[in-house]
């Protein structure tokens, strides 16, 4: 009993550090952006109305939508937009047109994650470092260089893994929540009447009296839920109970106290609107709080970077991106990965964002469109999961998701007002990633169609070969092929040039499925083809790590022994040749050809031993 309690405590502490680091740092800039926008007249009534909007936005979007509803939609214990997309597409698999549209919408939402992933670290770290301007105006010129230096160090240490420093995330973030709660309480005690803003009637009165202003400032109010998606994305790491316990016991109370503390400060000192979070801090504590805030924003950024690695790996497994160099940074935790291309690509984009926008206020103008559109997509996918996957009545599904859809749509519409002020930036990044994903998926389909048109059926080919068999050599040949039942090009080239056949031949197809995990009991499907030849299908989920040699050891249960010392792996190294007419537009075919050329080696992706791999080239016209 005590061990289960300690485990729950450890998971809850971990969730505080990883899941809530982002939303925990929103107190640095959310209130400042609402009142600093110039759209809200500075009156006590408006302060009460805005704080009430903050509290009920947190309550409705995070507490009710994500914590209570969306967390229930787990895909075999996993969460996140990719897991939700897989769950929704499975729920409507008997409706191909709807499924196709849903996949496009879901993949676009996944692409937007990268746009959000650029803005969030930039605005978080920059807003923390801007606290130095409160300590002394002389620090103003150092804000941008120091922000870039911190971000560089953060991305540089990624290759070493986060296992060593990860154990400090929870305690440091817990201290952060404790500090922001204390700062809030200290200011609330000076103006306890600010707690009246907990009543929703203040938010309703503000919105009713100033509907136009309310609509405009919702684009800034949404800053208080930055990182809300992480609740669902990290479900597989911590589980529902620790995430819910962390939110209701620590995170939500701390955020509420701090926001209301900032409101209390503004009632007494309206001039503090230029940076209410740091100005609510006593002079003697400002520098330590700036350092703690910087640490908290680095942790929040770390969680997002780790999420980008994880999402990229899942998308590769689902077939929407080419193979990339994925490095495992922990021998115990398979989730600890490092993808150099994603790491430095994110860093370059974040540096560009910091240099272009130069302040957290300008970045706030760019933030919101991507995240609110992602929230809208999550709500839409949730409807299809509970309607077609869980078979709930239509009225209940509409009641459960329709209200959230309306709220998300209003927030998204408000954020669209920021489009020309910087909102285009994350959309541009998301659109570029979406183009790459769709181009790769369609290019792979065209490539497979081209290979199928020239394919020879494997059973008939083997029968013809063994009428007058070539010389047999000792050992096992493993031929990797995209389509089961077809003769691999590598085998044709091997017979043509080497004129030999191995004593044992395996024709292996690796299949990725729209589930997070496929267990060892369902890993292999084996068909005996005669003459010591076998058709093997290896099944993996989008969170599994493909390991062909390890999977082939399972064949002994089917009467097929594979000796690693005498096994050779034959792969086709296809060169894509774009052609005019049909397929995709010429520029997309050229883009696909380049992506295919730059993809990491299949041998590395499939964990094949490098000294046992033979690659034979061929050209494929699409």
**pLDDT for residue 509:** 93
Compute the distance between CA of residue 473 and CA of residue 477 in angstroms, rounded to an integer: 10
DSSP for residue 486: B
pLDDT at 114 over 70: yes
- Say which CATH superfamily domain 2-442 falls into: Amino acid/polyamine transporter I (1.20.1740.10)
pLDDT at 333 over 70: no
Assess contact for 133 and 275: CB atoms under 8 A.
yes
Q: Which one of 249-263, 304-318, 382-396, 585-599 scores highest in mean pLDDT?
A: 249-263
pLDDT at 246 over 90: yes
Check residues 621 and 506 and name the one with the higher pLDDT: 506
pLDDT, tens digit, for every residue of 408-436? 999 999 999 988 888 899 999 999 999 99
**pLDDT for residue 166:** 63
pLDDT at 158 over 70: yes
pLDDT grade, residue 162 (50/70/90)?
Answer: low
**pLDDT for residue 302:** 84
- Rounded mean pLDDT, 89-95: 87
pLDDT at 226 over 60: yes
pLDDT grade, residue 165 (50/70/90)?
Answer: low
pLDDT at 347 over 90: yes
Domain boundaries, the chain: 2-442, 454-621
Check residues 562 and 177 and name the one with the higher pLDDT: 177
**pLDDT for residue 450:** 81
**pLDDT for residue 523:** 93
**pLDDT for residue 135:** 82
pLDDT at 439 over 60: yes
**pLDDT for residue 365:** 82
| Contacts (Cβ under 8 Å, ≥6 apart) of 310 | 80, 335, 337
Task: Let me know if 200 is exposed, middle or buried by CB neighbors in 10 A (0-12, 13-18, 19+).
Answer: middle
Average pLDDT of the chain is 88
- Cα-Cα-Cα-Cα torsion 177, 179, 185, 186, nearest 10 degrees, comes to -170
Would you give the distance in Å from CA 51 to the centre of its chain? 30
* End-to-end C-alpha distance for the chain, whole angstroms: 61
In the chain, % of residues over pLDDT 90:
41
Assess contact for 391 and 94: CB atoms under 8 A.
no
Q: Which one of 70-79, 86-95, 171-180, 314-323 scores highest in mean pLDDT?
A: 171-180
**pLDDT for residue 83:** 84
pLDDT grade, residue 163 (50/70/90)?
Answer: low
- What pTM, to 2 d.p., does this model score? 0.86
Q: Which one of 180-189, 383-392, 505-514, 558-567 scores highest in mean pLDDT?
A: 180-189
H/E stretch holding 294 reads helix 286-317
- Rounded mean pLDDT, 188-197: 93
- Rounded mean pLDDT, 102-115: 90
- Rounded mean pLDDT, 207-215: 93
Compute the distance between CA of residue 206 and CA of residue 195 in angstroms, rounded to an integer: 16
Check residues 478 and 161 and name the one with the higher pLDDT: 478
Q: What is the DSSP string of 145-211?
A: HHHHHHHHHHHHGGGG-SHHHHTTHHHHHHHHHHHHHHHHHHHHTT-GGGGGGGSHHHHHHHHHH-H
pLDDT grade, residue 331 (50/70/90)?
Answer: low
Residue 474 backbone dihedrals phi, psi, to 5 degrees: -65, 155
**pLDDT for residue 206:** 93
pLDDT, tens digit, for every residue of 14-54? 888 888 988 999 999 999 989 877 778 788 899 999 999 99
Compute the distance between CA of residue 75 and CA of residue 83 in angstroms, rounded to an integer: 6
**pLDDT for residue 23:** 92
- Rounded mean pLDDT, 302-313: 85
In the chain, % of residues over pLDDT 70:
97
């Amino acid at each position: 009993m005590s061990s289960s309690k300690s485990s729950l405590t450890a998971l809850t502490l971990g969730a505080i550090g990883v899941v809530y680091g982002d939303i925990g740092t929103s107190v640095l800039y959310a209130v400042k952006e609402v009142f600093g926008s110039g759209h809200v007249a500075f009156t006590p009534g408006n302060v009460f109305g805005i704080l009430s909007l903050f509290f009920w936005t947190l309550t409705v979007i995070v507490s009710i939508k994500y914590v209570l509803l969306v967390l229930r939609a787990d895909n075999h214990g996993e969460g996140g937009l990719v897991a939700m997309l897989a769950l929704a597409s499975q729920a409507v698999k008997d409706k191909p047109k709807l499924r196709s549209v849903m996949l496009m919408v879901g993949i676009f939402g996944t692409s937007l994650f990268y746009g959000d992933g650029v803005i969030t670290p930039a605005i978080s770290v920059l807003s923390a470092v801007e606290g130095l301007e409160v300590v002394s105006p002389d620090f103003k010129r150092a804000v941008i260089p120091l922000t870039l230096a911190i971000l560089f160090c953060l991305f540089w240490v990624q290759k070493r893994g986060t296992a060593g420093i990860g154990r400090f995330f929870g305690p440091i973030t817990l201290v952060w929540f404790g500090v922001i709660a204390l700062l809030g309480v200290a200011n609330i005690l000076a103006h306890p009447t600010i707690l009246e803003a907990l009543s929703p009637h203040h938010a309703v009165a503000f919105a009713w009296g100033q509907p136009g202003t309310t609509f405009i400032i919702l684009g800034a109010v949404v800053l208080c839920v930055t990182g809300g998606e992480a609740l669902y994305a990290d479900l597989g790491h911590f589980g529902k109970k620790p995430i819910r316990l962390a939110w209701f016991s620590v995170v939500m109370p701390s955020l509420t106290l701090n926001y209301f503390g900032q409101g209390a400060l503004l009632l007494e000192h309206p001039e503090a609107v230029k940076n209410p979070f740091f100005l609510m801090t006593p002079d003697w504590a400002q520098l330590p709080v700036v350092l703690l805030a910087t640490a908290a924003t680095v942790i929040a950024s770390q969680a997002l970077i780790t999420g980008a690695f994880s999402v990229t790996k899942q998308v590769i497994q689902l077939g929407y991106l080419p193979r990339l160099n994925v490095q495992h940074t922990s021998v115990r935790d398979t989730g600890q990965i490092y993808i150099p291309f994603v790491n430095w690509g994110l860093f370059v984009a974040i540096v560009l964002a910091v240099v272009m926008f130069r302040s957290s206020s300008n970045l706030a103008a760019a933030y919101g469109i991507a995240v609110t559109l992602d929230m809208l997509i999550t709500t839409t996918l949730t409807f299809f999961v509970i309607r077609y996957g869980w078979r709930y009545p239509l009225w209940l599904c509409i009641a459960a998701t329709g209200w959230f859809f309306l709220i998300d749509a209003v927030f998204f519409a408000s954020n669209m007002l920021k489009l020309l002020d910087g909102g285009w930036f994350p959309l541009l990044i998301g659109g570029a990633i979406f183009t790459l994903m769709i181009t790769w998926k369609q290019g792979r389909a065209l490539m497979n169609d081209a290979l199928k048109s020239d394919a020879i059926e494997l059973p008939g080919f083997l029968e013809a070969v063994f009428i007058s068999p070539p010389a047999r050599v000792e050992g096992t040949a493993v031929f990797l092929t995209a389509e089961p039942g077809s003769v691999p090009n590598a085998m044709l080239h091997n017979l043509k040039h080497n004129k030999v056949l191995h004593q044992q031949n395996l024709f292996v197809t690796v299949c990725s499925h729209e589930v997070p995990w496929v267990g060892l009991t369902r890993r292999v499907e084996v068909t005996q083809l005669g003459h010591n030849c076998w058709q093997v299908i290896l099944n993996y989920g989008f969170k599994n790590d493909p390991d062909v040699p390890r999977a082939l050891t399972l064949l002994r249960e089917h009467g097929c022994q594979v000796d690693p010392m005498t096994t050779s792996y034959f792969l086709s190294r296809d060169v894509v040749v774009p052609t005019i007419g049909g397929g995709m537009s010429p520029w997309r075919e050229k883009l696909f050809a380049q992506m295919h050329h730059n993809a990491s080696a299949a041998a590395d992706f499939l964990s094949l031993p490098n000294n046992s791999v033979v690659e034979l080239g061929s050209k494929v016209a699409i």
